[in-house]
Structure 1
Amino acid sequence: MANSDKKHEPESDLKRQIQNKKQSFQQEQKVANHIAYWIVGILVILLLILGVLGYNFVQESLQPFDRSDHQEVEVKIPIGSSNKQIASKLQEKKVIRSATVFNYYVKSHNYTDFQAGYYTFKPSMTLTQIVARLQKGGSSEPIGDPNRNVLIREGVTVDQIGTVIAQRTSFSKKQFLTLMKDQTFMRQLQRKYPQLLNSSLDSQDVRYHLEGYLFPATYPYYRGMSLKKLVIEMVAKTNQELLPYYDQIKEKKLTVQQCLTLASLIEREGVTQNDRRKISGVFYNRIDAHMPLQSDISVMYALNKHKHSLTNKDTAVKSPYNLYKNTGFGPGPFNSPSLNSVQAVLNPLERDKGYLYFVANLKTGEVKYSTSYAQHLQKNSKMGQ
């Protein structure tokens, strides 16, 4: 029996060793599992944190670079630029917050057709606004300092535009007025915009063939820009604005020159759009009656000076532009009219009332209309004018 017990002792020790190792392995496995769970948990938390941070970053990057910064920044987009390169350029110029997010935004919305050119952006612009501008296209020339922009106001003459050119550009007024008399340049413009300029170039006794054709707007001027280029942009703008009205002008049996002539008178005679349209009706009635338009604006243009009141000598001045003496439209426009005045020419009011005269109250601006000269004098008297 003693020998038998001794025989089983090694077997019992072996079992205990195996059991101990099994328990030790299980404990190690539990510890390993705990560590794995901790690692996975930490990774999940890190991923969540990164996800939140990433989401916030994307959301912030989709916002304007600086909502309060409205200063214009010029950006050149070279020909052949990829969306990634455009985004990098915009981030470099501090127009957008992130090139990566902008590129993702463009791809996710399938925006295409970005065009090369010179652009001005503001840090306050949204990505939607920036994309819209890139799709519209930029300038082929540097835009330059917006503080040097040339503003052409409604109702100004070529002579007055010359003064603005001298103030806002490197060109003199004399250079500008010389260009306005350059017939070779006029013919070049006519070939480029025949529908716009044919009637002007066909007109006789015209002081400036581009009088009335330099559209009231703001034009960018940059260093190195030619005077011809600046003028071409003004004429191109006029053509663009009048394009929807060419057929209507024909329907009225007017030339563009005649339409702009009436519009230039209406520009200076009427203040409200309603009065402009009524004054348009008066002018049409006088033309149909073969009466002179008798606008003070025409006399001041003939005199080449502004006056608060005209004398009999003034209204008798010998000039084709004097519409106190001459019937019809005269040689051409007297200033650069606004689109509102062009629309008034094409949509006159109350022609059927037979108005042939009008007078504005100098104090209130109210315009009175008359069908006869006697009635006109009576209304003038009531106003003390």
Structure 2
Amino acid sequence: MKKITIILVIIALICGACVGSFFFFIAPVSKTREIKDFKVIGGKNKIEIVTDLKKEGLIKSKYAALAYLFFTRKGLQSGDYEIDKSKSAIEILNNINKGLIKNVQVTVQIQFEEGIRFVDYAKLISDNFPISYETILEKGKDPEFLQTVINSYWFVDESILDDKIYYPLEGYLFPDTYEVFESTTIENLFYKLLNNNKSKLDPLKEDIQKGKYNVHEILTLASIIEKEARKEDERKKVSQVLYKRLDNNISLGCDVTSYYGVHKTLKDPLAEADLYNSNPYNTRATGFMGLPVGPICMPSLMSIKAALNPADTDYLYFCAGVKSGIVSFAKNTEEWLKIKPKCMSER
């Protein structure tokens, strides 16, 4: 009787150990949610599929998985799956057994060129996604959404809530090429662009924070630089001129701000009345001092860096040739009067 008891205890211990081991090996490989694509090719048997799952680090033990499939007599279906590594082996195998393949969504590639405006972004988005132009403009001005953006990104502050700003997200949506699900919402698309901008600005955070101007002002400077110059060295020189004029309380007098202030592009004719139109962007307006109320376009990384690192020169004037793209610089009024006719001839 005593021997039987001992044998039963040993059997119970072995069974307990086996059960414990089984549950350990079918437990999730990760505590955090991590999605990984996994393809089950038609014609593969259970052993091959389970072996692939183990190789991809999606399950802990192929033997525990095979044991589960053997006792439940479940099969596995071919297809493309999204496997969550925080799910147990049983949940993963059950999904493959049921053929719960991932949703295949149509993606759209969209390119936002450097230096274009928020309204141009809205037009591109409405042309490529089932989102209306009006909806995009409305969401870009929605106070609740903008407050969420401010709370989510270190480089966005209350400056964008100034009611004199035409488009609060102007300057903040990084120009780049994006791959986006066709079914995306405008909020998610904005966040995607903001996240990209964050990845570009994060390495510059220390330089921005120790400088004289805040992020909003740096992006405003960068947007002017973007519209005035094409080459990197010229952008840095333009940056130096802007800083010098600001430091000496001299009007910036940039025509590119005049265009934006009256909702025109550089290709549109600009009347004399437009040049001196009084609005919160036009630095040519009589008595206008300092920076525009906000960015006038979406600046490139090159222009942002130029705004942070102006050239070590002593220029006070510059003039950009619209046709040639060449920027001429002058240190004083005498030099300015010499370069002005050439620049004016390109307008």
Secondary structure at 2:283 match in 1: coil
Give the share of equivalent positions with the same residue, in percent: 28
- Tell me the residue number matched to 2:296: 334
Secondary structure at 2:318 match in 1: strand
Distance 2:249 2:296 in 1: 21
The aligned length equals 265
Distance 1:90 1:373 in 2: 74
Q: Is the 8 A contact 1:199 1:257 kept in 2?
A: no
- Tell me the residue number matched to 2:209: 250
Give a deviation string over 1:199-229, Cα, whole Å, max 9, x none.
5336451112211111112233324322111
**Residue 87 to residue 305, structure 1, CA distance change in 2 (3 Å):** closer
Q: Is the 8 A contact 2:257 2:282 kept in 1?
A: yes
**Residue 169 to residue 312, structure 1, CA distance change in 2 (3 Å):** same
Following superposition of structure 1 onto structure 2, how do residues 71-110 of structure 1 map, counting pairs within 5 Å? 89=39
**Residue 201 to residue 368, structure 1, CA distance change in 2 (3 Å):** closer
Give a deviation string over 1:285-340, Cα, whole Å, max 9, x none.
11011112111111111110124453321111120111112211121101110111
Distance 1:372 1:171 in 2: 51
- Once superposed, which parts of structure 1, at least 4 consecutive aligned residues long, lie more than 6 Å away? 98-107
- Tell me the residue number matched to 1:212: 171
**Cα deviation, residue 268, structure 1:** 1.2
2:150 is the alignment partner of 1:169: no
Following superposition of structure 1 onto structure 2, how do residues 362-381 of structure 1 map, counting pairs within 5 Å? 362-381=322-341
Following superposition of structure 1 onto structure 2, how do residues 1-385 of structure 1 map, counting pairs within 5 Å? 89=39, 144-146=105-107, 148-193=108-153, 195-201=154-160, 203=162, 205-308=164-267, 310-325=270-285, 326-351=288-313, 353=314, 355-382=315-342, 385=345
Distance 2:241 2:193 in 1: 30
- Tell me the residue number matched to 1:26: none
Give a deviation string over 1:55-107, Cα, whole Å, max 9, x none.
xxxxxxxxxxxxxxxxxxxxxxxxx689xxx7961756xxxxx9899889879
**Letter paired with 1:370:** A
**Residue 230 to residue 280, structure 1, CA distance change in 2 (3 Å):** same
Give a deviation string over 1:158-198, Cα, whole Å, max 9, x none.
111110011110001100000011001100111111x2111
**Letter paired with 2:106:** D
**Residue 227 to residue 382, structure 1, CA distance change in 2 (3 Å):** closer
**Cα deviation, residue 150, structure 1:** 2.5
**Cα deviation, residue 366, structure 1:** 2.6
Q: Structure 2 unaligned runs (5+)? A: 1-27, 31-35, 43-47, 58-81, 85-101
**Residue 228 to residue 285, structure 1, CA distance change in 2 (3 Å):** same
Distance 2:103 2:229 in 1: 39
- Tell me the residue number matched to 2:25: none
**Residue 307 to residue 201, structure 1, CA distance change in 2 (3 Å):** closer
Distance 1:232 1:143 in 2: 22
Q: Is the 8 A contact 1:290 1:328 kept in 2?
A: yes
| Larger Rg over CA atoms | 1
Secondary structure at 2:329 match in 1: strand
**Residue 179 to residue 285, structure 1, CA distance change in 2 (3 Å):** same
Distance 2:40 2:248 in 1: 63
Distance 2:116 2:277 in 1: 22
**Residue 320 to residue 383, structure 1, CA distance change in 2 (3 Å):** closer
Q: Structure 1 unaligned runs (5+)? A: 1-79, 93-97, 108-114, 118-140
Larger RCO, structure (CA 8 Å, separation 6 or more): 2
Q: Is the 8 A contact 2:320 2:343 kept in 1?
A: no
- Tell me the residue number matched to 2:63: none
- Tell me the residue number matched to 1:9: none
Distance 1:89 1:228 in 2: 31
Cα RMSD (Å) of the superposition?
Answer: 3.0
**Letter paired with 1:315:** L
Distance 2:118 2:29 in 1: 41
**Residue 367 to residue 89, structure 1, CA distance change in 2 (3 Å):** same
Distance 2:147 2:337 in 1: 46
Normalised by the length of structure 1, the TM-score is: 0.62
**Letter paired with 2:316:** L
